[in-house]
Chain A
């Protein structure tokens, strides 16, 4: 609403500084620039992950040319699940992926990592710097464990002959986990920058933005992972 009011102003009528607070001494207005940048990046990443999900659903509904095969596909449970959820039945060559149990453990690890970030924010607010050092380190390590776990799943799948070319579901699995993993890796870069500052005794104010933004970013990636994992599970 504030934005709408702003955008409907007749700018030629008002002269002067127009009660504009302007930027601070640092040349920046409002929230830190890093926060704005991160939120825009979350927007970019969301479009990308949404499109992967959309492509997954569309690919799922691509029957191909053979009506007989499409009819056969309708006999499967996956067809009914998808038809109920998305209105789209799966393609005739669709082979649901058998999700390795390890993925559940990895999901748990990523949740713990997110919780650690949340606790880090609490520590920061209460200025408990000793505790912060531990929670920050834990948050990053759990994320690393998650990545190692994902790699292990890849190795297990490849070891059992489940290459990406085997079927569309498994191909999307590799694509989704790779893109998600790369985003987490990018997050870990910022985790390392923040954590190394804390370990070197930085003051709370210096790392507040870093901790808060990383925490939000981690929750976001957890959400992305849960959506994608859920999609793999139900199809």
Chain B
């Protein structure tokens, strides 16, 4: 139980906890920690889902729910955004899937720093508790918008400017500490705990996506950390990092010379890589889902890996495309528009290769594959609308309108969530040893997939029209036709339907956990290591007495001449296969 006792230094067999508490609460097993992370993230995500439903109610039926005052509305907006981006998606994709999949897919017994891994979860839980506690402090949670731009975030005109914002900043700082502990673990494990034969280019795309996203997180979150601390100081002890001389509530505040734009640079230096922290694991996972269920190797594996690395690198030099109309030096616009559109090239390559993997495949349209196809469709849509906003002068009329809302929900809300659902259906049999109900899974897919498109497609057009975002109500606005209100009603109905449809998903998972049929250890005929464990679900230590050995890449599907349409990575080369090329 020490911070740098690694499996490396601990030559004894893994310590198997005996008690229930040791097994499921203070557990150092990556699989248990992954489940803890996932359940917490999904739990807090449900809060954010309910908040979005309330926001939609206000937009479609202004004033119907009396407790949704402007203050409450902006608090819901803020908490919804922050929870979804950080506490749900980042935590679920890296803390959840990263934790579960890394050791299993690279053939390790656990993370290299199991104690730090456990600590990471408990610190994450603390950040969630602090965040949730902000609902109960005087003034309520902050209503500053998830971007928390000063001076507004810490002045009187914004709800939750007293306690709420402090709780938010504290929670973020705690989250970043938790993430850093987890992240150091993931990268070190990927680099050093791969089993024999698992060279870098034999890793499945899932691991590549999680690995690069973790590095992005490690290097990007410090920006948010610094910004949060500086804003806390501005708010509490009266420094002027971000606060210029301003009037608030009719009186001059005791600040001068600070730069609000400095905060925006720090925030987006974190905020843009954050998009890829969510997207890259999703890219990786969906590659493996498509390949497995199409019985075909991922097309252009090397290009896929390079694209992940290139996108990760470029994501650090595009941040100011969120700031074209922020009043920053206007000449930055040329550079950031160019760098942003360059990043579209490797991203487009990935899309082509997903579709080309399907081409001449043997496509089994099981539920995980349906979600993967849903991902391709929504990601194409969200990716292309990104080209509007990345291109500086096209962004001018569209920024801060519903076009932006539509775009980022498609690209970093809906499409990663499609992958999350697909991945849960894909790995559920391995994680629980049970199989889910297909009909319920399909119903869940169809309602979710069609519903989200009905929500977000019209939003893009409201954006073209010029409807600004973050409006509690539009009131009388001359240039808006009456039909805009009908659109809002329609969007809200679709949103509530999609929200309710998630009950099918939870019912399916919970029911199947207890009553589902026993699952085959490798029901999809997958090649990767996690399906080759001796036990299903994998036992503590994952691999029995011997670590597995890896003899081939992760995508030997439908190899000509092979007896079956997949060859697991653990299968030694057959007599027809040359052991080494050259």
Interface on A for B, CB 8 Å cutoff? 6-34, 36-37, 40-41, 43-45, 47-48, 51-52, 55, 58-59, 62, 64-65, 91-94, 163-165, 168, 171, 174-175, 179, 190, 193
Closest to B574 in A: A15
Which secondary structure dominates chain A's binding surface? Answer: loop
User: Nearest Cβ distance between residue B300 and chain A, in whole angstroms?
Assistant: 11
B218 touches A43 (CB 8 A): yes
A62 touches B197 (CB 8 A): no
A62 touches B239 (CB 8 A): no
Q: Which residues of B lie under 8 Å from residue A18 when comparing CB positions? A: 197, 199, 202, 580
Q: Which residues of A lie under 8 Å from residue B193 when comparing CB positions? A: 23, 27-29, 33
Q: Which residues of A lie under 8 Å from residue B245 when comparing CB positions? A: 64
A33 touches B113 (CB 8 A): yes
Interface on B for A, CB 8 Å cutoff? 2, 4, 6-11, 108-109, 112-113, 180, 183-185, 187-188, 191-202, 218-220, 222-223, 225-226, 229-230, 233, 237-241, 244-245, 254, 256-259, 262, 265-266, 269, 297, 301-302, 305-306, 309, 547, 549-553, 555-556, 572-573, 577-581
A51 touches B240 (CB 8 A): no
Closest to B239 in A: A171
User: Nearest Cβ distance between residue A96 and chain B, in whole angstroms?
Assistant: 14
A20 touches B241 (CB 8 A): no
Q: Which of A8, A19, A51 has the most CB of B within 10 A?
A: A51
Q: A163-B237, A164-B239 are in contact. Are A25 and B11 (CB under 8 A)?
A: yes
B192 touches A30 (CB 8 A): yes
Q: Which residues of B lie under 8 Å from residue A164 when comparing CB positions? A: 233, 237-239
Q: Which residues of A lie under 8 Å from residue B195 when comparing CB positions? A: 22-23, 27
**Distance between Cα atoms of A47 and B222 in the complex (Å):** 7
Q: A48-B226, A52-B226, A165-B237 are in contact. Are A91 and B257 (CB under 8 A)?
A: yes
B572 touches A33 (CB 8 A): no
B218 touches A17 (CB 8 A): no
**Distance between Cα atoms of A21 and B266 in the complex (Å):** 42
**Distance between Cα atoms of A19 and B92 in the complex (Å):** 36
User: Nearest Cβ distance between residue B225 and chain A, in whole angstroms?
Assistant: 6
Closest to A61 in B: B259
Q: Which residues of A lie under 8 Å from residue B219 when comparing CB positions? A: 43-44, 47
Contact of B240 among A12, A14, A58, A168 (CB under 8 A): A168
User: Nearest Cβ distance between residue A47 and chain B, in whole angstroms?
Assistant: 5
User: Nearest Cβ distance between residue A92 and chain B, in whole angstroms?
Assistant: 7
B197 touches A33 (CB 8 A): no
Q: Which residues of A lie under 8 Å from residue B225 when comparing CB positions? A: 48
Q: Which residues of A lie under 8 Å from residue B240 when comparing CB positions? A: 93, 165, 168, 171
B8 touches A12 (CB 8 A): no
Q: Which residues of B lie under 8 Å from residue A21 when comparing CB positions? A: 196
Contact of A44 among B11, B222, B547, B580 (CB under 8 A): B222
